[in-house]
Amino acid sequence: DAEITQSPRHKITETGRQVTLACHQTWNHNNMFWYRQDLGHGLRLIHYSYGVQDTNKGEVSDGYSVSRSNTEDLPLTLESAASSQTSVYFCASSESTSGEQYFGPGTRLTVT
């Protein structure tokens, strides 16, 4: 069955370190998205991609970057981790013109 996976599921890192969160989908979807989920804020879009070599900033992109070198993967990099980036991160993908998205299980990141 097609799926979307994220790794690691849990990560603890120190302030200032670079961190990369992996997202891999086997749906063969062109569209991929990264969100963060925080209490009181719901889901906020960080970056998104509509295809290979395409990346776009979302509403909370500062301090994050993505790259899309193939259809299956959209890694999210925190260039210099900050405590404010402690959160749960979700990756999603979609192909449908209606916009329905399929979500991964999430990565819980703690920055100390």
Partner 1 sequence: AQSVTQLGSHVSVSEGALVLLRCNYSSSVPPYLFWYVQYPNQGLQLLLKYTSAATLVKGINGFEAEFKKSETSFHLTKPSAHMSDAAEYFCALNSGGSNYKLTFGKGTLLTVNP
Q: Please, are residues 24 and 35 in contact by the beta-carbon 8 Å criterion?
A: no
Query: Rounded CA gap, 20 and 17, in Å?
Result: 10
Shortest spacing between CB 98 and partner 1, in angstroms: 4
Q: Which two tokens stand for residue 47?
A: 């970056």
Please, which residues have CB within 8 angstroms of residue 21's CB and are 6 or more apart in sequence? 6, 7, 8, 11, 34, 75, 76, 77, 78, 89, 91, 107, 109
For partner 1, which residue of 74, 78, 81, 90 counts as binding (CB under 8 A)? 90
Mark 18-57 with x for binding to partner 1 (rule: CB under 8 A) and - for no binding: -------------x-x------xxxx-x--x-x-------
**103 is an interface residue for partner 1 by CB under 8 A:** yes
**106 is an interface residue for partner 1 by CB under 8 A:** yes
Of 30 and 79, nearer to partner 1 (C-beta) is 30
Q: Which two tokens stand for residue 5?
A: 């996976």
Q: Which positions touch partner 1 (CB under 8 A)?
A: 31, 33, 40-43, 45, 48, 50, 58, 90, 92, 94, 97-106
